[in-house]
Amino acid sequence: MRRKEFIVVIGSGILIGLVALYLMARGNPGNMGICIACFERDIAGALGLHRASIVQYLRPEIIGILLGALVAALAAREFKVKGGSAPVTRFVIGMLVMIGALVFLGCPLRLSLRLGAGDMNALVGLFGFVGGIGAGVLFLKSGFNLGIAKDSKRIDGWILPVIAVVLLGLAIFKPVLNPAQPVMFKGKPVTVNGEAVTTAPGPIFASKTPEGAKPVPGDMKAPLVISLIGGLVVGVVAYRSRFCFAGGIRDAMLTRDVKLLSGVVALVAVVALGTYFMGSFKFGFADQPIAHSDHLFNFMGMAVVGLGSTMLGGCPLRQLVLSGNGNSDSSMSVFGMIAGAAFAHNFVFAAGKLPSGTMGVPGNGKIAVLIALSLLILIAMFNSEAITGRFAKKK
């Protein structure tokens, strides 16, 4: 039985890696076949929650992962609606995890893809991720918990899947409820090179690469059907194997169980081989796709993700999969991550191209990631029995 579980998890890692490689080959950004944080950020932009025009697209992969997990849970008769375990706190933790991920420029899944493709900036991020999980394990040993999820009304488990179906419809049919309007200034239309400047049609926004410019991330995408199928496959296999990046490292630390971790190692190995044969493997720190070499904040950003994911009980991928299984607490985490993406871009926290023309972390982002880490530690302390018990004794 144990051997079969290892085979399932390793096979899942291999399959997820192959899906990511194929999506990159069909148009997704470099080292970003699938990235839960980046793609949820793109969805936030597509809905107008942030106005960073280069990262706006209703990513079908996220929709597919959620629906794939839902189908797998229903097929196995394991769809169980549970919730009520500190939903507001989970929402806030989700926001903080997203801020950390966007300072690093990727979730744990993208960290693995970047590492497999030779991006050594991801190795720095990995050290931070492990460190954050290590801190989370210490809090778990101190009695950290956010309460027990209880059986909930069935409608709670269906809200996020229904939203996913609606988003899929919007991605397919692309309705325009707010047509483009000329931008006016002092009663006159604004023009550039003799052409009127107009607002972007909505409500669904989509990145467009300016003519002759380098493709922007939101405009780099595999065909919709292929992206959706890829997401469905990842959702099914991640559900069946309980695949989780943070969970794999956490289990290795807590119980020396390396089952989940073996799947992550398999994924990295497949991506390394795949990118090598595809000619996109590039070892080093410089000029990596959608990455930066601010090592301190690569480390700190992923430390936030590691600690927050441990507190939530799973990485961003796992939260999305659990949402498909009817867990409304995980749905709150997902909503929090989407809100965090909006904050990260509206308040200039996310890493990206700086005024100097180089990739890096803006000053706001550096402050934000330090605040995020501090808030996570405070939340963990106030939800750890060993720590709160000491305060109670002193009183």
> Digits of tens for pLDDT over the chain (395 positions)?
578 899 999 999 999 999 999 999 999 999 999 999 999 999 999 999 998 999 999 999 999 999 999 999 999 999 999 999 999 999 999 999 999 999 999 999 999 999 999 999 999 999 999 999 999 999 999 999 999 889 888 899 999 999 999 999 999 999 888 887 887 777 788 887 777 778 778 789 999 998 888 999 999 999 999 999 999 999 999 999 999 999 999 999 999 999 999 999 999 999 999 999 999 999 999 999 999 999 999 999 999 999 999 999 999 999 999 999 999 999 999 999 999 999 999 999 999 999 999 999 999 999 999 999 999 999 999 999 877 666 555 55
Domains of the chain, by residue range, sit at 2-389
CA distance 202 to 197: 16
What's the confidence (pLDDT) of residue 189? 81
What's the confidence (pLDDT) of residue 218? 96
Q: Over the chain, what HEC string results?
A: CHHHHHHHHHHHHHHHHHHHHHHHHCCCCCCCCCCHHHHHHHHHHHCCCCCCCCCCCCCHHHHHHHHHHHHHHHHCCCCCCEECCCHHHHHHHHHHHHHHHHHHCCCHHHHHHHHHCCECHHHHHHHHHHHHHHHHHHHHHCCECCCCCEECCHHHHHHHHHHHHHHHHHHHHCCEEECCCECEECCEECEECCEECECCCEECCCCCCCCCCCCCHHHCCCCHHHHHHHHHHHHHHHHHHCCCHHHHHHHHHHHCCCHHHHHHHHHHHHHHHHHHHHCCCCCECCCCCCCCCCHHHHHHHHHHHHHHHHHHCCCHHHHHHHHHCCEHHHHHHHHHHHHHHHHHHHCCCCCEECCCCCEECCHHHHHHHHHHHHHHHHHHHHCEHHHHHHHHHHC
Sign for the pseudo-dihedral over CA of 255, 258, 264, 269: positive
